């Protein structure tokens, strides 16, 4: 149970980091154009 929770937590942080990276890139791209 604890390992499952840890897996979901790591997956959640991975998705969050990817989302913020894409979000930052999108705003940066709009700022240039």
Residue 11 per-residue DSSP state: H
**Distance between CA 27 and CA 21 in Å, rounded?**
10
With tokens 């705003």, the residue in question is 27
pLDDT tier, 9 (very low <50, low <70, confident <90, very high otherwise): very high
Residues 9-18: what's their mean pLDDT? 91
Looking at residue 1, its pLDDT comes to 64
pLDDT at 2 over 80: no
Residue bearing tokens 């959640």: 12
């Amino acid at each position: 149970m604890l390992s499952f929770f840890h897996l979901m937590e790591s997956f959640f942080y991975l998705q969050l980091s990817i989302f913020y990276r894409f979000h930052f890139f999108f705003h940066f791209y709009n700022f240039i154009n």
